[in-house]
Amino acid sequence: MPLERFRDRSAIVTGAASGIGRATVARLVAEGAAVLAIDIAADALDASVAEANAGAAAGGKAVARIADVSSEGDAAAAVADAVAQFGTLDALCNIAGILRTVRTEACTLELWNQVIGVNLTGTFLMCREALPHLVESRGAIVNAASTASFFGHPWMAAYAASKGAVAALTTTLAVEYSKQGVRVNAVAPGSVSTGITASVDFPADLTKEEQKLVHRIMSPTGMGDAASVASVVALLASDDGAHMTGEVVRIDGGTHA
């Protein structure tokens, strides 16, 4: 039987135009959720929403909204829009993220701030704006951390720092809001085929010894897909995850087993 864990529930998904965000929108809508799908890539977002709505369960729907999660104004307006459209907010899935690879000594402050701004500040802003509504609904937050949160990923200093901070933010919010009924968890994907991983371009001048370090982030079981991560996001956001909070669930095909 099809799952209907999100019937009569609403959610926001950021990074909804591609990869894990797109798969999460499709999964939640297929389980009956009304979803505000957020991204900055208009055409890809429209395609994502159309795809999700084609597979929607009864009561499920996706609505597109262009917003930059690193903008304080955009984050506040997006949450307000979701509540205005759906009447409540039951889940926030912070999936938006960017990855840049560069030798750390060559990492500019501009690049550093860009990555931190989307991955960490964007997650914080969306959480801050959504929390009053999630307290009211006793809802859930699912953030996107990474295996880079806990294991050394060379040439990804800004990304790893941002994702480590997302993991810390997740556990902090889980404890802070535990008595108010809000659950806060994160997924930590690794070795998953998405738009982010497809664009990884390691420094061209790697030595033979440095090239061996690439295997630190390669799964022994092959690359996973975005839908496999979205299924865990849906679990954590649903009542099936009712006794889970403060967890960072690694999904990496055994890369760091």
Domain ranges of the chain: 10-251
Q: pLDDT value at position 199?
A: 67
The pLDDT value given to residue 194: 80
Measure the CA–CA gap between 84 and 18, rounded to whole angstroms: 25
CATH topology of domain 10-251: Rossmann fold (3.40.50)
Q: What's the rounded Cα separation, in Å, for the pair 188 and 248? A: 6
pLDDT (0 to 100) of residue 222? 82
pLDDT value at position 211? 79
Q: How far apart are CA 192 and CA 97, in angstroms?
A: 14
Determine the pLDDT at residue 198. Answer: 62
pTM: 0.94
Pairing label, strands 224-225, 192-193: parallel
Specify the amino acid at residue 201: D
Q: What DSSP string runs through 18-77? A: SHHHHHHHHHHHHTT-EEEEEES-HHHHHHHHHHHHHTPPTT-EEEEEE--TTSHHHHHH
- Packing angle, helices 122-137 and 72-86, rounded to 10: 30
Structure tokens at 65: 């909204």
159 is catalytic: yes
- Return the C-alpha torsion angle 126, 69, 47, 196, nearest 10: -110
**Alpha-carbon distance values, 230 to 19, 209, 216 (Å):** 9, 35, 24
First-to-last CA distance in the chain? 33
Rounded to whole angstroms, the Cα distance separating 206 from 215 reads 13
State residue 202's pLDDT score: 77
Among the options 159, 192, 195, 253, which is catalytic?
159
Number of CB atoms found within 10 A of residue 172's CB: 12
pLDDT of res. 197: 64
Beta bridge partners of 192: 224
Per-residue pLDDT of the chain (257 residues; tens, 9 = 90+): 568 999 999 999 999 999 999 999 999 999 999 999 999 999 999 999 999 999 999 999 999 999 999 999 999 999 999 999 999 999 999 999 999 999 999 999 999 999 999 999 999 999 999 999 999 999 999 999 999 999 998 999 999 999 999 999 999 999 999 999 999 999 999 988 886 766 677 777 888 888 778 766 677 888 899 999 999 999 999 999 999 999 999 999 998 88
C-alpha 184/C-alpha 51 separation (Å) is: 28
**Contact present, 16 and 40 (Cβ < 8 Å):** no
Query: Which pLDDT score, from 0 to 100, does residue 6 have?
Result: 98
Residue holding tokens 């977002």? 45
